[in-house]
């Protein structure tokens, strides 16, 4: 009914139809990929900016389709959210990530943490914390090496159920991280109502940090307030040496981004750790 209000419906309707068609196609692609196990978890290392050692990784999903090739989450994650398929997808990510982390712990010792992105649908599922506990047990993983990332905008639209699940995850010993911080217009004091451990400063602030004095001041303020709130800060999207220098000047201690490494397949990530160990 709203479509008429926009006038020129003849222009918009085919576009809407195309979008619907695309959605339906993506949905069946997702089902096919879940069935055929076409997903792959890539890992982007997180670095200590002082000594440039790898302290952790973020798991980032890819779809590796036999006909369509490699697809980034931007091509399917929204539809996965809308259709609820993000729940089985998230289960796969959790299982695969935990399995990989356990292997790293065996091979490289115990100090790497793994961050996984969690959608609000998963967080609203009363059984989610139980699933995490089961997977940690299965792979003998200390829950404290698992970081669950929740975007700032998801937190702002939180339900009591999501907060309850976060508390359960905390009780298990998992670390909780707020992702894309700075884009959702929430205040740091608002964040206090959630049991958070890590705050990730959104890439948008890093992108122009050298030229944009306001962003520089904001990053500095976020860092110092995070100290007061006892949150660790990770800066994402570091692409250049200049940006690295600049975020360090603002007090940032941890970072990830193309300057250090793109997201890697597990085997390449292993190589990266091995070569950094021999430095
Ligand atoms: P995100 O969690 O904010 O992840 C960071 C994104 O920035 C990743 O894109 C990463 O590849 C990209 N990136 C990393 N360093 C740089 C850099 O220096 N410059 C630039 N321009 N980009 C950089 P990706 O892998 O395409 O993922 C996009 C989003 O999809 C993620 O954003 C996350 O919200 C979502 N996502 C990825 N994997 C999962 C998953 O397993 N579950 C859920 N629910 N969402 C996921
Ligand atoms: Ca340090
Ligand atoms: Ca993330
Ligand atoms: Ca992010």
The best mutation among 95, 100, 117 to test binding of ligand 1, ranked by most ligand atoms within 8 Å of the C-beta, falls on: 117
* Closest residue by CA, ligand 1 atom 20: 237
For 161-173, what is each residue's pLDDT tens digit? 889 999 999 999 9
Query: Interface pTM (ipTM) of the complex?
Result: 0.97
HSE-up of residue 151 (Cα within 13 Å, Cβ side) = 13
Phi-psi region of 114 (alpha: psi -120 to 50; beta: other; left: phi over 0): beta
pLDDT at position 58 is 98
Using 70 as the pLDDT threshold, list the residues of the chain that sit under it. 1-13, 110, 278-279
Burial tier of 5 (Cβ tally within 10 Å: 0-12, 13-18, 19+): exposed
**Residue 256 alpha carbon, nearest atom of ligand 1:** 15
Q: Are strands 146-151 and 53-65 parallel, antiparallel or unpaired?
A: unpaired
Find out whether the beta carbon of 202 lies less than 6 Å from any atom of ligand 1.
no
Find out whether the beta carbon of 44 lies less than 6 Å from any atom of ligand 1.
yes
Q: Which residues pair with 233 in a beta bridge?
A: 199
End-to-end CA distance of the chain: 65
DSSP letters spanning 160-208: HHHHHHHHHHHHHT-EEEEEEETSS---HHHHTTS---EEEE-HHHHHT
Residue 271's φ and ψ, nearest 5 degrees, are -60, -45
Q: What is the pTM of this model?
A: 0.93
Which ligand lies nearest the alpha carbon of 206? 1
DSSP letters spanning 121-160: HHHT-TTHHHHHHHHHHHTT--GGGEEEEEEHHHHHT--H
pLDDT at position 11 is 57
CA of 23 to the centre of ligand 3 (A): 24
pLDDT at position 278 is 55
* Closest residue by CA, ligand 1 atom 28: 73
Helices 9-36 and 86-108 meet at what angle, rounded to 10? 40
pLDDT at position 9 is 52
**Residue 239 alpha carbon, nearest atom of ligand 1:** 18
**Residue 41 alpha carbon, nearest atom of ligand 1:** 41
pLDDT at position 84 is 94
């Amino acid at each position: 009914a709203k479509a008429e209000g926009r006038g020129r419906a003849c222009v918009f309707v085919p576009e809407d139809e195309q979008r619907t068609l695309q959605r339906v196609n993506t949905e069946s692609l997702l089902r096919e990929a879940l069935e055929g196990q076409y997903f792959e978890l890539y890992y982007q290392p997180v670095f200590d900016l002082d000594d440039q050692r790898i302290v952790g990784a973020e798991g980032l999903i890819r779809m590796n389709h036999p006909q369509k090739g490699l697809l980034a989450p931007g091509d399917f994650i929204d539809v996965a959210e809308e259709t609820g398929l993000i729940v089985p997808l998230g289960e796969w990510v959790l299982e695969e990530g935990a399995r990989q982390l356990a292997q790293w712990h065996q091979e490289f010792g115990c100090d790497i943490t793994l961050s996984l992105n969690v959608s609000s649908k998963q967080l609203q599922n009363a059984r989610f914390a139980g699933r995490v506990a089961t997977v940690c047990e299965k792979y003998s993983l200390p829950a404290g090496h698992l970081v669950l990332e929740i975007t700032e905008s998801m937190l702002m639209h939180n339900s009591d159920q999501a907060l309850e699940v976060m508390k359960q995850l905390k009780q298990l010993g998992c670390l909780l991280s707020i992702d894309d911080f700075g884009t959702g217009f929430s205040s740091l004091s608002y964040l206090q109502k959630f049991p958070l451990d890590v705050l990730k400063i959104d890439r948008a602030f890093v992108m122009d940090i050298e030229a944009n004095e306001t962003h520089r001041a904001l990053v500095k303020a976020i860092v110092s307030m995070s100290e007061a709130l006892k949150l660790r800060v990770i800066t994402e999207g570091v692409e250049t040496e200049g940006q690295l220098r600049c975020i360090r000047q603002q007090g940032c201690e941890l970072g990830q981004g193309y300057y250090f490494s793109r997201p890697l397949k597990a085997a390449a990530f292993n190589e990266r750790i091995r070569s950094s160990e021999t430095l």
